[in-house]
Structure 1
Amino acid sequence: MASYMSFFKDLLWGSVLIYLLLGAGLYFSWRLNFLQIRHFRHLFTVMKHSRRHSAQGLSPFQSLCTGLAARVGTGNMAGVAIALTLGGPGAIFWMWLIAILGMATAFAESSLAQLYKTRDQQGIFRGGPAYYMEHGLGMRWMGILFSVLLIISFGLVFNAVQANAISTALYFAFGWSEQWVAVLLVVTAGVVIFGGLKAVARTTEVIVPFMAIGYVGIAFYITATHITEVPSIIMLIVSSAFGLNEAASGAMGYTIAQGVINGLQRGLFSNEAGMGSAPNAAASADPYPPHPASQGYVQMLGVFVDTLVICSATVAVILLSGEFVPGGEVSGIELTQRALTAEVGSWGGTFIAIAILFFAFTSVVANYAYAETNFLFLGKRGGVALMLFRVGVLFMVWFGSIASLPTVWTMADASMGLMAIVNLLALFLLSGTVVKLANDYWSQWSRGKVPHFDPSAYPELYAQIDESVWGPAKGGQGKTDGSNRK
């Protein structure tokens, strides 16, 4: 079974997804005039009022933290180490590239998720790719397919991945048995999961910023103490990405291919741009400015923080420590722990264990929130069905805590690949709507107005969206001060 799963995963990542992901990033960057670069400063402007929220939705800050909770986890610590081991330093270049291009893809999927969101029975905003597939494309069957894949991927498999990283880290740092870690995770995750979407948001907005700042701060300290080595590390990454170091040996083609494949795999697993996961958090927000595109900017920031900040912090720690051995047996979270321990002493491994505990734990509960939204899309309204689903999620947390790393990662790569294909197809079909949203938002902002989305200006969209969510804009559109017009 494992061999078949590995073959299927290699087929997806060896050809289909590489072209789709790069193609989507390039396509949306071009259609949106590289707004991830032109409007980069605006990402932080949008966050100035990000703590506003209502009873119907999360605040933009909570939405960002929920998205980061799912993004920031094993992909940033274990995944980067695996990319280095299997693909060499050149894999990091491709990880950076897919993040920059993926910011445009993240804008597209999150803006669409906001536009086509609805309310659940409690009046809380729900949405995501399944919803824009049904309402934007009129293809509920496609939405059902995506929901099933997401529930398998995020509700089940990815939670096993996160639990696996936690148990490995705690065993390395403290010698805790996998069985006891499994019990601890099931109990603590269960408390949050049974509290629903709001409980997940409250948990992530406290833990994620605190741990991210601490982790990046330590990496910055290590970089500063090795500042003279940084240029050579950057040159190593760039030269390895194009096989310049291996040209003489005749292995250049193979080296480049391994770097590209592993960089893209781990990059997508970490930042999730184009996968269709973060839009589920984006749709749950009550945005400010009150326009679908504002959540596109928020989730673009999430991709930047995840890969270009936190993943790069892990790269700096590993490559500057001297612990990295190309093709070495030590990989995953253990390599990251060894690297930090070599730099700051024995407490480094302990810190990584605590960091991965919190990062991966918040990923577990955020992944569940995504899965719950899609569970509701399938027509499951709660009760016994929802209770059984939650039990199934907790079972996978237990399974991941005691399973072997290669098996879990292979399952994650395969399920993630299928999900991404379905979502990317929908994004290409709805690309015209993405461009309309981006142009409408920036047209208002450039005139000094706080953007408001008025669906009556787009009758072709008005028939597709939930009137209780996006009614005609009421009142005047406020002015911004000059300092915000960036």
Structure 2
Amino acid sequence: MDTVIGFLNTIFWGYVLIYGLIAVGIFFTLRLKFVQIVHFPEMFRAVTRSNTNDRSGITPFQALCTSLASRVGTGNLAGVAVALYLGGPGAIFWMWVVALVGMATAYAESTLAQLYKTRNDEGQYRGGPAFYIARGLGLPWLGGVFSVCLILAFGLVFNAVQSNSIADAVQGAFGVPKLWTGIAVAALAGIVIFGGIRQIARVAEIIVPFMAVAYLLMALYVVIVNIGQVPAIIMLILSSAFGLEEAAAGFTGGLAAAMLNGVKRGLFSNEAGMGSAPNIAAVATPDPHHPSSQGFVQALGVFIDTLLICTATAIMILLSGTLAPDSGVTGTQLTQVAMSAHIGWAGPYFIAVAIFFFAFTSVIGNYSYAENAMTFLGLGGRGPLMILRGLVVLMVVWGAYESVATVFDAADASMGLMATINLVAIVLLSGTVAKLTDDYFAQRRSGRQPVFLAEAFPELRGRIDADIWSRR
């Protein structure tokens, strides 16, 4: 079994997804006429509006915060450090590039999730890749495969991984035994997830802005204190991106190492194209009442995750002067050492607290995706959801003190399969995304507030919920 899982991960993460995610990002960037750059201000307009008359969904801001809860995890601290250690400063440039094209992919998949969303038995919006695979492509069985992979990877195993990161950080900084940390995190997570997606959204919209702003303010402080070095650091990133500075600095691998590690960090962190964030994008009530509106919200999520938070970590590490080739200091340890250089003894404690918030919000964000998948499988009733919530809590406790590589590798394989399915689906449905985008901006140009009406798209009849999209 280990051999099979290892082979699948080599195929998915060594070939299919590394190149596929970038190719799809470039494809949507070109097909949608650089929508993420030309219409960047639209992202902020879409997230700050809120239709309070529709109680079936959560607000766009809550959807953004919930998706960021999942996106912003330990990878934003430890993962960036690993990318710098293995690929040198140039890895950050390629991380920026992949995030920039990934914003177009995130826009496309979340727009489709909005378009094909439905209501569950309680009248709440549910949707995601499984729904547009089933309804848009007419392949419900493939939507079922996607949903099972999502539940296994995001709903269960990745939450154990996040819990393990919290336990490691807390034990290292405060000496608390891992099991007790796991129990505490499980109790806190249980309080949130047993309240369902609405409770998760309410908690996320409070915690996520707080943790993101606090982390970015620390980075801003570091930049201001070291402002004289900043231009040199920016030039180092740009020149190293093409292997021009690597040999002199002692890094090996040059362009290939910088590109590979930067691309991986960007892809793994922002999740654009993975098919995860669209699950919460579908739950939102968009304002304007158009599927493209929520697409812009989730494109902004990629920008915040990678171009702001990951960059903040990278800049703090590079300004500290603690990045050294072949030193063996990497991951969370490198980030802690860097913070110690900036703020002294408080550095490791700051990183431990940051990891707690980043990882804890990932747990509740990941669960929200799994609940959508349960709805697609016809298991959205109270009983099955209570079982899922119980399993999530147990996985958090287990993950705090166990690290079974085979289980984690199996989750990577599951995520690789679901991401591959999602990429194929959104490319096949790209014509619909392009038409929706044109419709949105045609209305903008005419001076009207964009509104999507099902009757204007007869080719979608019978595939979308006409009741949702027939009301102004």
- Aligned pairs for 1:143-292 (under 5 A) are 143-246=143-246, 254-292=253-291
Aligned to 2:341: 342
Residue 430 to residue 276, structure 1, CA distance change in 2 (3 Å)? same
What is the CA–CA distance in structure 2 between the aligned matches of 1:338 and 1:251, rounded to whole Å? 19
Q: Structure 2 counterpart of 1:324, which letter?
A: L
Q: Which amino acid aligns with 1:356?
A: I
Letter paired with 2:386: M
1:71 aligns with 2:62: no
Q: Compute the displacement of 1:44 (Å).
A: 1.5
Aligned to 2:29: 29
Q: Which moved more, 1:307-316 or 1:345-354?
A: 345-354
Cα shift at 1:246: 4.5
TM-fit CA distance, 1:456:
0.6
Residues 413-422 or 76-85, more deviating: 413-422
Q: How does 1:292-307 map to 2 (within 5 A)?
A: 292-307=291-306
Tell me, in whole angstroms, the C-alpha distance in 1 between the residues paired with 2:47 and 2:388. Answer: 34
Residues 1:213 and 1:246: Cα distance change in structure 2 (over 3 Å): closer
After superposition, the Cα gap between the structure-2 partners of 1:124 and 1:214, relative to the gap in structure 1 and judged at 3 Å, is same
Could you tell me which runs of 5 or more consecutive residues in structure 1 were left unpaired when the two chains were aligned. 475-486
Give 1:404 deviation, angstroms.
4.0
Conservation of the 8 A alpha-carbon contact between 1:36 and 1:300: yes
Give the distance between the partners of 1:311 and 1:213, measured in 2 at CA. Answer: 13
SS of the residue aligned with 2:434? Answer: helix
Once the two structures are superposed, what CA deviation does each residue of 1:196-249 show, in whole Å capped at 9, x if it has no partner? 111100110000001111100010110111122222222322233222235699
Distance across 2 between alignment mates of 1:201 and 1:93: 32
Indicate yes or no: 2:460 matched with 1:461: yes
Name the CA shift for 1:350/1:44 in 2 (closer, same or farther; >3 Å).
Answer: same
Structure 2 counterpart of 1:204, which letter? A
SS at match of 1:148: helix
Provide the C-alpha distance between the structure 2 equivalents of 1:417 and 1:160, rounded to a whole number of angstroms. 18
Matching residue of 1:484: none
Identify unmatched segments of 5+ residues in structure 2.
none
SS at match of 2:77: helix
Q: Offset of 1:81 from its aligned partner?
A: 1.4
Q: Secondary structure of the equivalent of 1:164?
A: helix
Is the CA contact (8 Å cut-off) linking 1:14 and 1:261 kept in structure 2?
Answer: no
1:420 is the counterpart of 2:419: yes
Structure 1 range deviating more: 402-411 or 50-59: 402-411
* Deviations, residues 11-33 of structure 1 (Å, cap 9, x unaligned): 32222212211110100000000
Comparing 392-401 and 307-316, the one that deviates more: 392-401
Partner of 1:394: 393
Question: Deviation at 1:171?
Answer: 1.5
Task: Tell me if structure 1 keeps the 8 A contact 2:65–2:201.
Answer: yes
Separation (CA, whole Å) in 1 of partners of 2:51 and 2:175: 40
Aligned counterparts of 1:10 and 1:108: Cα–Cα separation in 2: 27
Q: Point out the more displaced range, 73-82 or 277-286.
A: 73-82
CA distance in 2, matches of 1:113, 1:236: 40
Letter of the 2:162 counterpart: Q
* 2: CA distance, partners of 1:265 / 1:420: 14
Bigger mean CA deviation after superposition, 26-35 or 157-166: 157-166
Which residue number corresponds to residue 135 of structure 1? 135
Mean alpha-carbon deviation: is it higher for 254-263 or for 375-384? Answer: 254-263
Q: Which amino acid aligns with 2:144?
A: I
Q: Report how far residue 53 of structure 1 moved.
A: 6.2
Task: State the one-letter code of the partner of 1:46.
Answer: A
**Superposed CA RMSD:** 2.2
Distance 1:2 1:255 in 2: 32
Separation in structure 1 between the aligned mates of residue 194 and residue 9 of structure 2, nearest angstrom: 33
How far residue 293 of structure 1 moved from its aligned partner, in angstroms, is 0.3
- Counterpart-to-counterpart distance in 1, 2:185 and 2:157: 15
> 1:92 and 1:2 mapped to 2: Cα distance?
33
Q: TM-score, normalised by structure 1?
A: 0.92
1:268 partner letter: L
Amino acid at match of 1:99: A
8 Å Cα contact 2:47/2:64 also seen in 1: no
**Contact 1:172/1:334 (<8 A) preserved:** no
The CA deviation at 1:259 is: 2.8
Distance 1:412 1:270, change over 3 A: farther
| Residue 58 (structure 2) aligns with | 58
More displaced stretch, 237-246 vs 212-221:
237-246
Answer yes or no: is the 8 Å Cα contact 1:441–1:451 preserved in 2.
Answer: yes
SS of equivalent to 2:263: helix
1:335 Cα deviation (Å)?
Answer: 1.9
* Preserved contact between residue 86 and residue 327 of structure 1 (Cα < 8 Å): no
Shift of 1:307: 0.5
Counterpart residue identity of residue 46, structure 2: V
Task: Give deviations 1:275-305, integer Å, cap 9, x for gaps.
Answer: 0111111100011000000001111111101
Q: How many residues align?
A: 472
**Offset at residue 448 of structure 1 (A):** 1.3
**Aligned equivalents of 1:264, 1:379: Cα separation in 2:** 37
